[in-house]
Chain A
Amino acid sequence: MKRIYVNEEWCLGCHLCEYQCAFANSGMDDMVKALKGKTIHPRIQVEGDNKISFAVNCRHCSDARCVKGCISGALSRDKDGVVVIDTDKCVGCFTCILSCPYGAIMPSSDHSVVQKCQLCMDNASGEPACVKGCPNRAIVYEERI
Chain B
Amino acid sequence: MLLREGENGNRIPAGCAISGIFSKSGTRINGKQIIDSISVMHDRSNGLGGGFAGYGIYPEYKNQYAFHVFYETNEAKEICERYLDRHFDVINLSKIPIRRIPEIKDEPLIWRYFVDPLRTRLAASQLDEKEYVVRCVNRINTKLDGCYVFSCGKNMGVFKAVGFPEDVGRFYRLNEYDGYCWTAHGRYPTNTPGWWGGAHPFAMLDYSIVHNGEISSYDANRRFIEMYGYKCNLLTDTEVITYITDYLLRKQKLSLEEMASVVAAPFWSTIDHMEEPEKSRLKFLRNKFSSLLITGPFSILLGFTGGMMALNDRLKLRSMVVGEKDDMVYIASEECAMRVIEPNLDTIWSPRGGEPVIVRLYDEAMEEIGGDE
Direct contact of A and B (CB under 8 A): no
Chain B interface (Cβ within 8 Å of chain A)? Answer: none
Chain A interface (Cβ within 8 Å of chain B)? Answer: none
